[in-house]
Amino acid sequence: MALKEKIESRRARVGIIGLGYVGLPLACEYVRAGFPVTGIDNDASKVEQLSRGSSYVQDVPDEMLKARVGPKGLTATTDMAALKDCDAVIICVPTPLRKTRDPDISYIVSAVDGIAREMHPDMLVVLESTTYPGTTEEVIRPKLEAGGLKAGRDFYLAFSPERVDPGNPRFNTKNTPKIVGGTTPACTAMAAALYGKAVDTVIQVSSTQSAEMIKLLENTFRSVNIGLVNEIALMCDRLSLDVWEVIDAAASKPFGFMPFYPGPGLGGHCIPIDPHYLSWKLKTLNYYAKFIELAAEINGNMPHYVVTKIVDALNARKKPVNGSRVLVLGVAYKKDISDVRESPALDVIKLLQDRGAEVLFNDPYAAEVHLDHGTLRSVPLTDELLAGCDCAVIVTDHSCYDYARIVEKSRIVVDTRNATRRVGAGREKIAKL
């Protein structure tokens, strides 16, 4: 049976390499749509956990996972040989940056090498991992064609950028529009046919390079605009203006303005990293991406600015930072999730420790963080803890925090997220960005 018929009849077996915050929700959507799914991950503990119907991804509740795990639904393995029984394979592996800010596509290369060993005619291969424009065509295609099969003739190859926003209660894998670009029109159409069975909206573009660039534009747009508003916050501080008042009032304009908000820095796997893929690619073409580099510089310096605000708040009360007990509230990179990857809270903690502060943290979602100075574990947020610390710093504005109580019980509060905006009493204790 041809691949298109298998997709239409939902008999196509979908293989997903990488069962993290992108791959696992996608796997669940395909099972929900009626497809058998083989999930592959090199982490044996994840595979074992999934086989028990226990989820480690916040957006996939245990109840949802248990309903989808089984022989006719999702099966998980560490064995890449399972790909030989798959009709379509979707790559959802990490793409970190090296310390030199060069792209590290080793996880993609490893996945593609595994696919190439099990390659068969009429297979569809889709890359979802964020990368620089040209990766699918220049890196993946030659590896998959090395065995004699040709993309667009013998198999199908496409790129479809992941657009996952962890913890977003409104938009998920199913209702977020899916971009698809193939190496040939036939490849685009086949990938669109597969995604069309699992997601509400599929948008086809002309090439894999366009699809790769679209993802980088989305996150570069956010990075640059956050960099701009962070610099506005620095300007307002010099001018003794309330940046939050300025932004809220500007946002009343019904056209020509989109509000972004300052904060302690960028976090997560996408916004702090993805623009550098584009910047690196352009450097190979002798082009310097000025906006990207400038935004990265401003955003990267925000944790230092936060620590300066903490030092100033302590100094105003004749307390040196050296020896002070500082409580960091929230270490996840954004509110109401557990992900601490690239979180600015980690930089704030390290900078405070380097200055001699005793740093504690509380986060209802993240139990511990690993730092140069060792592992820190979340402490219970008691009234005694708040009163016993010299300063409380709101780095992540989790919805479950009682900010009125935090302000009431704390000696000083440095608020990097405007989380205390509705607190009435005790405002003299609060220092904001």
User: Which pTM was predicted?
Assistant: 0.93
Token code pair at residue 180: 């698809």
Give the residue from 206, 227, 252 where a domain finishes.
Answer: 206
Q: Which tens digit of pLDDT belongs to each residue from 297-318? A: 999 999 999 999 999 999 999 9
Domain C-terminal end among 178, 206, 234: 206
Same domain, 28 and 177: yes
CATH of the domain at 151: 3.40.50.720
The pLDDT tens digits of the residues spanning 60-72 come to 999 999 999 999 9
* 175 lies in the same domain as 248: no
Give the Cα separation of 245 and 250 in Å (integer): 9
CA 49 and chain centroid, separation:
22
Whether 173 is covered by a domain: the verdict is yes
In a domain, 225, yes or no: no
Phi, psi of 137, rounded to the nearest 5 degrees: -75, -40
d(CA 95, CA 111): 12
Q: Which residue of the set 28, 86, 187, 270 is catalytic?
A: 270
Tens of pLDDT, residues 83-120: 999 999 999 999 998 877 788 999 999 999 999 999 99
Tell me if 288 is assigned to some domain: yes
Same domain, residue pair 125 and 182:
yes
Encode pLDDT of 114-149 as tens digits: 999 999 999 999 999 999 999 999 999 999 999 999
* 224 lies in some domain: no
Residues 132 and 276 occupy one common structural domain: no
Residues shown for the chain: 433
Q: Are residues 179 and 249 in the same domain?
A: no
Residues 270 and 139 in one domain: no
Model confidence band, residue 268 (pLDDT cutoffs 50, 70, 90): confident
Range of the domain at 74: 3-206
Q: How many domains does the chain have?
A: 2
Is 132 within the bounds of a domain? yes
For residue 26, what are its two tokens?
């996608």
Query: Quick check: 373 pLDDT over 80?
Result: no
Residues 199 and 282 in one domain: no
- Per the domain annotation, does 32 fall within a domain? yes
Same domain? For 186 and 84 the reply is: yes
Residues 278 and 417 in one domain: yes
The verdict on 9 and 123 lying in the same domain is yes
Distance CA 273, CA 279 (A): 10
Is residue 426 domain-resident? yes
Contact in structure between 17 and 111 (CB atoms under 8 Å): yes
**227 located within any domain:** no
Q: Please identify, among 149, 182, 206, the residue that sits at the C-terminal boundary of a domain.
A: 206
Whether residue 52 sits in one domain with residue 195: yes
Would residue 270 show up in a list of annotated catalytic residues for this protein?
yes
- For residue range 1-50, list pLDDT tens digits in order: 699 999 999 999 999 999 999 999 999 999 999 999 999 999 999 999 99
Claim to verify: residue 38 and residue 145 sit in the same structural domain? yes
Query: How far apart (Å, rounded) are the C-alpha atoms in residues 345 and 234?
Result: 19
- Which tokens sit at 316? 């105003």
DSSP state letter for 13: P
